[in-house]
Amino acid sequence: MDLLKDIETLVVRGHIDAASNYPKDLSGKPGVREKVAEALEKGFSPQDILLNALISGMKIVGEKYEKNEIFVPEMLFSAKAMKNGLQQIRPLLVGDVSIRVGTVILGTVQGDMHDIGKNLVGMMLEGAGFEVIDLGINTPPDKFVAMARQHPDALIGMSALLTVTMKNMKAVIDSLRYNGLKNKVMIGGAPVTESFANEIGAEGYSINANQAVSLAKQLLSA
Ligand code: B1M
């Protein structure tokens, strides 16, 4: 348990690994990279590390940012540290999948640079056997539309972390429908809600990456 708390603290402090000089007082000391490896070696499950160290760490980062205790540069280091941890558990979450159950076109909407949650959703989907076409961050509606044209049976998955970029999800749905595309759409991200999904005409909303997998299965089988 202490090891998970240590990782959580290292995410909050933004200390990636022993080679990283940030923050100064942790320079040369083990960072998220080494501690996640140690946790895996000691038998902690990837899900436990994910929920109780990495995601919980980012939650604290958000709270500190809100209270003006940290600023964007510190948030960036924390995001890098978290991503490093995620990379290490990725092979364990994704596994070796040979049978594809469907395709999901995934992207963070236009104007939004947050991609940790989207990447996590992508990993979980891949782990469940989906082919994931990741359009990245700051994705304009046209890019979703072009990919949906090539994959008319694919599910579209959109992520937004900012209240100001949420509205761009509607722009994507409107654009898909305007172009006669019937791809189903699921959305998620911290400020997104079920009622917002209903309001903009998305077929599904998911609060987290695990639920996103069951929702994707449900939407593609219906
Ligand atoms: Co930003 N940021 N950020 N940020 N950032 C938030 C989102 C914020 C809530 C912080 C705060 O004020 N407490 C706030 C938004 C306020 C608002 O709009 N209401 C905020 C702000 C204001 C900003 C800037 C505007 C700051 C500035 O420049 N002044 C700026 C905007 C840049 C831009 O996008 N245009 C900015 C920048 C950044 C960084 C670049 C520094 C960095 C992102 C790095 C990166 O992603 N590569 C960053 C970070 C790290 C955060 C916080 C701290 C953490 C986000 C995160 O990764 N969480 C965040 C605070 C917070 O969310 N508490 C914050 C962990 C991740 C696993 O969770 O992404 O929620 P999440 O994903 C979850 C679920 O939401 C869901 O599943 C995931 C796993 O369970 N989910 C889906 C997500 N997408 C889904 C899609 C689905 C289904 C489920 O289906 C397709």
Q: How far, in Å, from the CA of 114 to the mean position of ligand 1? A: 5
CATH code at 44? 1.10.1240.10
Whether residue 217 is found in the same domain as residue 110: yes
Q: How confident is the model at residue 50 (pLDDT cuts 50, 70, 90)?
A: very high
Q: Report, as an integer, the average pLDDT of 61-73.
A: 96
Q: Is 53 in the pocket of ligand 1 (CB under 6 A)?
A: no
CA distance 169 to 151: 19
**At a CB cut-off of 8 Å and minimum separation 6, what does 191 contact?**
160, 161, 162, 163, 166
Indicate whether 84 pLDDT > 90: yes
Whether residue 116 is found in the same domain as residue 84: no
Whether residue 9 is found in the same domain as residue 89: yes
130 to 108, 124, 155, 187, 205: CA distances (angstroms): 18, 9, 10, 16, 18
Whether residue 85 is found in the same domain as residue 111: no
Whether residue 108 is found in the same domain as residue 70: no
Indicate whether 98 pLDDT > 70: no
Q: How far, in Å, from the CA of 212 to the mean position of ligand 1? A: 17
The residue range of the domain holding 143 is 100-221
Indicate whether 1 pLDDT > 70: no
Q: Single out the residue of 145, 101, 92, 149 nearest to residue 125, CA to CA.
A: 101
Q: Is 136 in the pocket of ligand 1 (CB under 6 A)?
A: no
Domains of the chain: total: 2
Q: What percent of the chain has pLDDT over 70?
A: 98
Q: Report, as an integer, the average pLDDT of 78-100.
A: 86
**Which of 61, 96, 131 is the C-terminal boundary of a domain?**
96
